[in-house]
Structure 1
Amino acid sequence: MTVFAAAMDRIYANSSMAVAALWISATTSEERPIRVIRRAPDRITEFGAGRLVSDTMMVDVRVYDLPDPRPGDLIVIGADSFTVQGEPIRDRERLIWSLDLRPS
């Protein structure tokens, strides 16, 4: 295990950084508990001469916890359900998935 991987494990174990969630596969009946770091950046989209600002919901999850997320999978955080939209993206170290979510 690298030092970076050990640091990520500590961050995801910290209750002030990460929250418990449930992943449910869109293609099989598989589900598993995971820990995620929530992010909600605003996204700016240009349309002609105008710019639109929209809310987004993204989560980061360890590859160790979720080896193969796919578009259409469901992520449940507390009472809120989200669907993975678009292709998941891994970080440079190949340790973290970034998932773009939309409310279900």
Structure 2
Amino acid sequence: MTAFVAALDLLFADPNLSTPALYQQAGIGVEQPLRVMRRSPDRMVEFGAARLVSDSVVLDVRVSDCPELAAGDRFEIAGEIFVVQGTPKRDRERLVWTVELLPWWPDPHADVTG
């Protein structure tokens, strides 16, 4: 174990910096408990000549917890479900994913009766 990995383990275990979440690959299968670092920065969005400020949700997740993280994967945090938007990006050391999330809405046309 490198010093970087040991430091990350301590940071992700700290309840002041991280929060518990459930991860589900491609939105199907078993949910995996893990800890994530959640940020909610304002984003500037241009719409024609107008500039709008939009809320966003960004997560930092250890690569060791989600080695194959991809668009469409889901996270549940404090009862809210989010879906990974776009391609996750790894840090230089390949230890942490940074992902942007969108709120997940169930498909109203999906057959829920089985």
TM-score (norm. length: structure 1): 0.91
Q: How does 1:38-57 map to 2 (within 5 A)?
A: 38-57=38-57
Q: Deviations over 1:38-64 (max 9, x none)?
A: 000111123443212110001100001
Q: Work out the CA distance in 2 between the residues paired with 1:62 and 1:8.
A: 8
**Other structure's SS at 1:88 match:** strand
Give the whole-Å Cα distance in 2 for the aligned partners of 1:3 and 1:92: 15
Tell me the distance in 1 between the aligned counterparts of 2:66 and 2:25: 11
* Percent identity over paired residues: 49
Q: Which runs of 4+ in 1 moved over 2 A?
A: 45-50
Larger Cα Rg: Structure 1 or Structure 2? Answer: 2
Query: Could you say which residue in structure 2 is the equivalent of 1:24?
Result: 24
Instruction: Look up the match of 2:102.
Output: 102
For the 8 Å contact 2:27–2:74, the answer to whether it is kept is: no
Give the structure-2-normalised TM-score.
Answer: 0.84
Q: In the aligned structure 2, how far is the partner of 1:62 from the partner of 1:69?
A: 10
Structure 1 regions of 5+ residues with no counterpart? Answer: none
- Cα pair distance change 1:64/1:39, threshold 3 Å: same
| Mean CA deviation greater in 18-27 or 53-62 | 18-27
Q: In structure 1, what residue type is equivalent to 2:42?
A: D
Match of residue 87 from structure 2: 87
Following superposition, the deviation at residue 13 of structure 1 comes to: 0.6
SS at match of 2:26: coil
The secondary structure found in structure 2 opposite 1:101 is strand
Cα distance in 1 for partners of 2:46, 2:78 equals 33
